[in-house]
Structure 1
Amino acid sequence: MAQRRAILIWPLMLLLVLHTSYSFYVPGVAPIDFHRNHPVEIKAVKLTSSRTQLPYEYYSLPFCRPEKIEYKAENLGEVLRGDRIVNTPYDLHMNVEKKCEVLCDKPNKPVKFKVTESKLVVERIREEYYVHLIADNLPVATRLEFYPNHDDNDKKKEKEVQFEHGYRLGFIDNNKFYLHNHLSFIVYFHKEEIEKGQEPTYRVVRFEVVPQSVKYEDLKTDERGNCILPEAAGSLPQEIDPNKENDVLFTYSVHWEGSVIKWASRWDTYLTMSDVQIHWFSIVNSVVVVFFLSGILSMIIIRTLRKDIANYNREDDIEDTMEESGWKLVHGDVFRPPQYPMILSSLLGSGIQLFCMILIVIIVAMLGMLSPSSRGALMTTACFLFMFMGLFGGYFAGRLYRTLKGHRWRKGAFCTATLYPSIVFGLCFVLNCFIWGKHSSGAVPFPTMLALLCMWFGISLPLVYLGYYFGFRKQPYDNPVRTNQIPRQVPEQRWYMNKFVGILMAGILPFGAMFIELFFIFSDYRWWWRTFLVSGGSAFYVLVYAIFYFVNKLDIVEFIPSLLYFGYTTLMVLSFWLLTGTIGFYAAYMFIRKIYAAVKID
């Protein structure tokens, strides 16, 4: 009893730690109040591109730098995401307008791009990189306004507004490259209610930017040294020639605007940058289809089973010598241990580990403890939860391994703790070597890799052993029928009974695995591996769609970005296969135990 209590206390303690760690980041809990003229710091996060999938540090390009560069201490999730948050020389003060300010240390003097720097900037513009900045932990966004189904004769149509994360580094026009060297910041604030005689306080609720490209020669200065932006019609964009040195002057302006949006709702704009209605419609549609089809299959299965069970029990009462038929025929072989029981139980243990991790992450996110303001919190939580859920993965793997007549529990525990994680770590290490070669901020530093190894062998491995020990000591699953000493001869199967065909069939309707299992039992009692592989068949279609999306939707043409895409896709497909295969296996196992327990067998 005490052992059970100890096992149950672990997840409760973990949830308490997660709540303590991340409750600070929940929107509306700990807002920052600014008074007029108080500094509002602008920080840079990284450069990203959907074409290359490789993030880079902000100062990997020759932007203006402050006197002292200070990097924020990142958590594990931020490091794995490639975030490198650093200070910038932008000087913003609450509710203080700035028409045009020169950014760099040398006023009115341009930054001279060397040829190598010019080529690098041009390459990043060609690869469609975005720059990501934050103010008061809010990411910068670019406003996009357009008229849907534009018609010049219809002047009453309202503009539709959308936002995109960050701002474009530059653009291409007539095979020439232009850099956005002037940023017009628009910061929205909410004025808080105060008592008489007190100084008003403000809270930042939105951070927008309008990027512009202005040629250095067109920028003028006034008597105080402030820059004067030319009229849009009379200015030329800042071209970057990759074959020579370029003079660039970085400037910015700041406009403050009051807003009725409160602090607790300031993330709504960022969370609705995609079409949420279509997304929810897709989810509801998928749920309805799955429940409808699974309901029909369940009705068919229940009616068939009730009829078979009634016939079997009636025949047993009438004549015991009647020859068995149907799925009752293989009752003496259906629970025969499969080949490689250690590997099967290890994979299922890893599937349980993933299932528990995903379940708790969803619950924690629903409770509001993984808000978007906490960068990297989701990935950090997932990593730690996977380590701690090794206790449950080891327990289920150990008990199943004993049920399958296994006796080398120490080796089985080691296999459970290392099989799936070693595949993930090995593939990530290989991909990381390529990312290192590109000098991307997405490369995991060597100390972080050591920390992950220490977490693996210091947290996950001992917990898997502990769970495996208790699971192996636990009474094995009680099968309702005995297993014969001599296995029944299985006739040669038709082509559509092949396990690979079954994977393709089950993948179309993942929740139809139980129906297919009943069909398989009629002619083949070797269902242990088959149910695990077939139930994960939907992962094959995930892989096929990922390939289709890569070919038809993405513009990735370089080798390393393509390698990263397929490498991470492989990890996603493998994890999805483990997760769905584990769910399908235990569903089929409980289903088979249930139906054979309902039949009278001597």
Structure 2
Amino acid sequence: SFTVKWHPTDIKYENRLDYVKTEQMFPHELEIHWLSILNSFVLVVLLTGFVVVILLRVLKADYARYTKSRETGDDTEDYGWKLIHGDVFRIPENITLWCAFIGIGTQFVVLFFVCLAMAFGEIITPTLPGGSVYTSVIILYSLTSSIAGFVSAWFFKQIGGGAWAWNIVQAATLFFIPMAIVAMFLNIIASVYGTTQALSLPTLILLFSIYMFIGFPLTVVGGIAGRNLSSEYQAPCRVNHFVRMIPPVPFYRQAPFQYLVAGFLPFSGIYIELHYLFNSVWGHLSYHLYGILFLVFIILLIVTSSITIALTYFQLSVENHHWWWRSFISGGSTAFFVGLYSIFFYVYRSKMSGFLQTVFYFGRMFSVCVTFFFMLGAVGALSSLFFVRRIYAKLD
């Protein structure tokens, strides 16, 4: 048996976790966070150093050979990425989908910064009840929907797409509808089990109405603005009428191996922080190091951008001009490793069991992984697009 003594306090409910924010409460954990930042920073330096120094030196040598071959009239020295200048800007298949993915991913990058800013301002805190968190996320997602519409329509108009209305609809629904289905399924399970995680029918109708009457219209408005403000797409090189055949390459230069490399390196830079985030969301810890989380997110974006650019160059150097979709999938492949870590955490780190906890855990982690895929995929694709335009703009 045991006894309990209640001590009255004047501290407000939302401020009762402030004591854990003092460094004296977690000196060892703070050291681990900073060691993780240092490890990630070293990774950034190495990758950006490779892209900026090594890659530029290779490109400089390539430009010199290209100029020499043009002066002598001998085109036999043309090889690698220079040889496919007539195909590299060929519009890929499913360009409407590609533009919508870019728009959705860009929205999530902005949304993450907005959420961090609100966490800094203690507008979003760990003490919020589940319903308030759902409402906050839906409102923020709806208010930033115009970004998805704008970016998607801007690129679609630039590339010369015609069905712009369908493009905007895709930007508004490709993420929301699947995630709404997942959320409804989880809520039905929670209602059957009678847990406090279940949202009432009026709350569900309210959340759905917020997006339909705020988020969707803002996506349309952003799409119209992006379409009207976009200029005509000017490719640095003229596209050939006939598609160039892609030569065979060894396995380590094929897409699956490239996706593994592109996903593993960014994941290695955020692994430690993911450990604490998972323990905070699914365990008993309280996470409040938003400054460190901001640094880790910036590092994640830089590493994703750098590794995708490097892999895109390697792809072009073997005369493979299908870089549009591969750069997006390469950037978003970090989501695959986040998914693997979520399985590892559930099996070896958490104490969750039973159908309810399992379904809730993997349902929500599926949503997180999809968000990572869109967000980092857009970062990788936009970085590669900028890089490809820059290197081919120097060719005559």
Same fold? TM cut 0.5: yes
Task: Write the letter of the residue equivalent to 1:271.
Answer: K
Deviation of the 1:374 alpha carbon: 6.1
Deviation string 1:561-582 (CA, Å, 9 cap, x unpaired) is 1111111111111111111111
Q: Aligned equivalents of 1:378 and 1:312: distance in 2?
A: 57
The answer (yes or no) to whether the contact 1:337–1:405 under 8 Å persists in 2 is no
Counterpart of 2:309 (choices 506, 514, 525) is: 514
Match of 2:100 in 1: 346
Match of 1:437 in 2: 192
Deviation string 1:169-211 (CA, Å, 9 cap, x unpaired) is xxxxxxxxx7x7x5312345xxxxxxxxxxxxxxx2489xxxx
More deviation, 429-438/271-280:
271-280
Give the alignment of 1:407-556 within 5 angstroms: 407-473=162-228, 474-510=230-266, 511=303, 512-522=307-317, 523-556=319-352
Normalising to structure 2: TM-score of the pair?
Answer: 0.81
User: Greater CA radius of gyration, 1 or 2?
Assistant: 1
Task: Write the letter of the residue equivalent to 2:234.
Answer: D
Q: Aligned equivalents of 2:200 and 2:347: distance in 1?
A: 31
Deviation string 1:277-306 (CA, Å, 9 cap, x unpaired) is 145224423432332222332221122112
C-alpha change, 1:518 and 1:374, in structure 2 (3 Å) is: same
Deviation of the 1:375 alpha carbon: 5.8
The answer (yes or no) to whether the contact 1:187–1:206 under 8 Å persists in 2 is no
Task: Write the letter of the residue equivalent to 2:312.
Answer: E
Q: CA RMSD in A?
A: 2.5
Q: Which runs of no fewer than 5 residues in structure 1 stay unpaired?
A: 1-177, 189-203, 208-262
Q: Aligned equivalents of 1:283 and 1:382: distance in 2?
A: 28
Counterpart of 2:41 (choices 288, 294, 300) is: 288
Counterpart of 1:271 (choices 10, 15, 21) is: 21
Match of 2:271 in 1: none
The answer (yes or no) to whether the contact 1:395–1:471 under 8 Å persists in 2 is yes
Other structure's SS at 2:7 match: strand
Q: Aligned equivalents of 2:4 and 2:94: distance in 1?
A: 62
2:82 aligned with 1:332 = no
Deviation string 1:115-158 (CA, Å, 9 cap, x unpaired) is xxxxxxxxxxxxxxxxxxxxxxxxxxxxxxxxxxxxxxxxxxxx
Task: Write the letter of the residue equivalent to 2:70.
Answer: D
Normalising to structure 1: TM-score of the pair?
Answer: 0.54
Task: Write the letter of the residue equivalent to 2:177.
Answer: S
Match of 2:286 in 1: none
Other structure's SS at 1:417 match: helix
2:161 aligned with 1:365 = no
More deviation, 367-376/586-595:
367-376
Other structure's SS at 1:185 match: coil
Deviation of the 1:323 alpha carbon: 5.4
C-alpha change, 1:560 and 1:373, in structure 2 (3 Å) is: closer
Q: Aligned equivalents of 1:594 and 1:320: distance in 2?
A: 25
Deviation of the 1:370 alpha carbon: 4.1
Give the paired residue count. 350
Deviation string 1:5-48 (CA, Å, 9 cap, x unpaired) is xxxxxxxxxxxxxxxxxxxxxxxxxxxxxxxxxxxxxxxxxxxx
Give the alignment of 1:136-147 within 5 angstroms: none
Other structure's SS at 1:407 match: coil
C-alpha change, 1:352 and 1:438, in structure 2 (3 Å) is: same
Q: Sequence identity of aligned pairs in percent?
A: 25
The answer (yes or no) to whether the contact 2:69–2:75 under 8 Å persists in 1 is no
Give the alignment of 1:373-384 within 5 angstroms: 380-384=135-139
Q: Aligned equivalents of 2:377 and 2:240: distance in 1?
A: 28
The answer (yes or no) to whether the contact 2:153–2:227 under 8 Å persists in 1 is yes
C-alpha change, 1:420 and 1:342, in structure 2 (3 Å) is: same
Task: Write the letter of the residue equivalent to 2:101.
Answer: L
Q: Aligned equivalents of 1:363 and 1:320: distance in 2?
A: 57
